[in-house]
Amino acid sequence: MRHCCDRLSSVVEAGGSSVQFDSVYREYRVEILPKAFWIDLSFCPFCGAKLPDSLRGDFFVVPSPDEKKRLSALVGGCKGRAELIVKFGNPDFVYAPHHSADPIFGGTISCRSGCLYKNLSTTAVVRVEFTEDDSIARIAIESKCLRPDNDGT
Ligand SMILES: [Zn+2]
């Protein structure tokens, strides 16, 4: 991959820098918090050149309105975490409730516990968030990422 200038090339190719290049999505970004928060770059921080458009959109399939309805009804018919597992098996990813400092605006970002099912649909990932007593708080039907190294999170 050719980058816009030698300085950007040397920084992204050396690795370990906070300026990173994702060759799959063709995106440049600055790491604000290690492995946690990035900002995409539109222009080279060294020479000011416009950077190429991201290919990220090419890696997502979007569920149809009918598929969203089908999945919402399927998952929404469950009362809580235990029933989901009985019906659909263990989710592909589980996350605990967490709180973290907001690096940009200050304050705290809070997330409920939740899980992801990646294989209930060919075009969607189903994200379910739970209340403290494991009832379903929210169901989100999200676009599915087809990136080969994507972990779905
Ligand atoms: Zn440059």
pLDDT tens profile 25-82: 999 999 887 777 889 999 999 999 999 999 999 999 999 999 999 999 999 999 999 9
Residue 152 belongs to a domain: no
Nearest to 41 by CA among 81, 1, 78, 4: 4
Residues 10 and 74 in one domain: no
- Whether 91 has a pLDDT exceeding 70, the answer reads yes
| Residue 77, in any domain of the structure | yes
Q: Where are the alpha helices (DSSP H) in 38-98?
A: 65-76, 81-88
Assigned domain for 153 exists = no
Count of structural domains, the chain: 2
pLDDT tens-digit map of 120-138: 999 999 999 999 999 999 9
My answer on whether 80 and 124 are in the same domain is yes
Tell me phi and psi for residue 137, to 5 degrees.
-95, -35
Cα 71 from Cα 66, distance rounded (Å): 9
Same domain? 68 vs 134: yes
Q: How far is the CA of 51 from the centre of ligand 1 (A)?
A: 8
Residue 89: domain span: 60-145
What is the Å distance from ligand 1's center to 16 Cα? 18
Q: Tell me what pLDDT residue 151 has.
A: 57
Give CA–CA dist 46/17, Å, rounded: 14
CA 145 to ligand 1 center in whole angstroms: 29
pTM confidence score: 0.71
CA of 28 to the centre of ligand 1 (A): 11
Q: What pLDDT was estimated at residue 11? A: 93
- Ligand 1 centroid–CA 86 distance in Å is 53
- The residues pairing with 145 across neighbouring beta strands, listed in sequence order, are 60
| Claim to verify: residue 135 and residue 70 sit in the same structural domain | yes
- DSSP 3-state helix, strand, coil percentages of the chain (rounded to 5)? 20, 35, 45
